[in-house]
Homo-oligomer: A and B are copies of this chain.
Amino acid sequence: MLLTSEARGVYPIAPTPFFDDGSIDMASIDRMTDFYVGIGSTGITILGQLGEAPKLEHAESVAIAQQVVRRAGNLPVVVGVTAPGFAAMRALTRAVMDAGAAGVMIAPPNTLRTDDQIVNYFKQAAEAIGADVPFVLQDYPLTFSVQMTAGVIRRIVTEIASCVMLKHEDWPGLEKISTLRGFERDGSMRHIAILCGNGGLFLDYEMERGADGANTGYCFADMLCDVVRLSAAGKRDEAHDLFDVHLPLLRYEQQPGVGLAVRKYVMMRRGILTSAAQRTPVAAMSKTAQAEVDYLLKRLARHDARARL
């Protein structure tokens, strides 16, 4: 079952679970996958920016993809295949699609500048992986330093049929969603799925602007599912009430570098991961930071029972 532009809901960005010695923790992968399925995720994205993909050898990446795909059952699995060259990108894409992935995700190299360079890059990438492989366009200028206007995204969507989803994480980004949905309404762009990343920092208003859901890795993915559901059901105040009680922690987790440590630590405390270990290079969390996260959890627990750990 391939990814289509009708995707919606929450595709959590999964971390890659390691044991303390750096080896891959397949049991935690299973537990995490079960967790994502259980909370009502509509898909799972693995080996993204925060999945420590560059720290994995090719065979390891493939093995992880196989494990998640098997465990996720009917849930579509998207695999990050961003690479410095098309050879590695194609090789990984083939392997994971053979393993049953629903599609892949591609981020642009941070050397792209002009509109044409960006469009051409994705055309070449789409050709390299094969026109039959649906892909997610990752638009994260804060991390990748590539700025795509709504017009450039329209060109990509128009010129490349296999682009089916936007991982929207521009910042600020609310007007971009409105503009893209406007393109659809005025007939100048076909519909694509828009799922939002950037740690979820604006998910509350992104949904109201027309996003289809979330595609990010906040440690309470269950909250993301709830907010998307409430928002889609038109329960505006309830959606914001829930989102707002998570915002202090969510904002804390969304810090570059240390954010992954926070995410893995909370997922460990929630019993999803056995260890919060990362592979080198590690952006570690200080004891003070850990105490701050504990305090944030304690405060959150007053409003959301899932934080009573």
Interfacial residues, chain A to chain B (CB-CB below 8 A): 53-58, 60, 83-88, 91, 110-111, 113-117, 120-121, 124, 127-128, 147-149, 151-152, 171-172, 174-175, 178, 201-202, 204-205, 208-209, 240, 243-244, 247-248, 251-252, 255-259, 279-281, 286, 288-289, 292, 299
Question: Copies of this chain, how many?
Answer: 4
| Known pairs A57-B87, A87-B55, A247-B247; A257 contacts B172 (CB<8 A) | yes
Q: A83-B84, A86-B280 given; name 13 further pairs at CB < 8 Å.
A: A54-B83, A54-B86, A54-B87, A54-B88, A55-B85, A113-B113, A114-B149, A116-B151, A127-B280, A171-B255, A172-B257, A172-B258, A205-B252
The residue that A149 contacts in the complex, of B116, B240, B259, B288, with Cβ under 8 A, is: B116
- Contact check, B84 vs A84: say whether CB atoms are below 8 A apart: yes
The residue that A286 contacts in the complex, of B84, B149, B178, with Cβ under 8 A, is: B178
- Contact check, B247 vs A251: say whether CB atoms are below 8 A apart: yes
Measured between beta carbons, the chain B residues less than 8 angstroms from A209 are: 288
- Contact check, B124 vs A280: say whether CB atoms are below 8 A apart: yes
- Contact check, B171 vs A85: say whether CB atoms are below 8 A apart: no
- Contact check, A201 vs B251: say whether CB atoms are below 8 A apart: yes
Alpha-carbon gap, A240 to B258, bound state (A)? 21
The residue that A88 contacts in the complex, of B57, B248, B299, with Cβ under 8 A, is: B57
The residue that A147 contacts in the complex, of B114, B128, B243, with Cβ under 8 A, is: B114
- Contact check, A251 vs B248: say whether CB atoms are below 8 A apart: no
Measured between beta carbons, the chain B residues less than 8 angstroms from A244 are: 247-248, 299
Alpha-carbon gap, A125 to B85, bound state (A)? 20
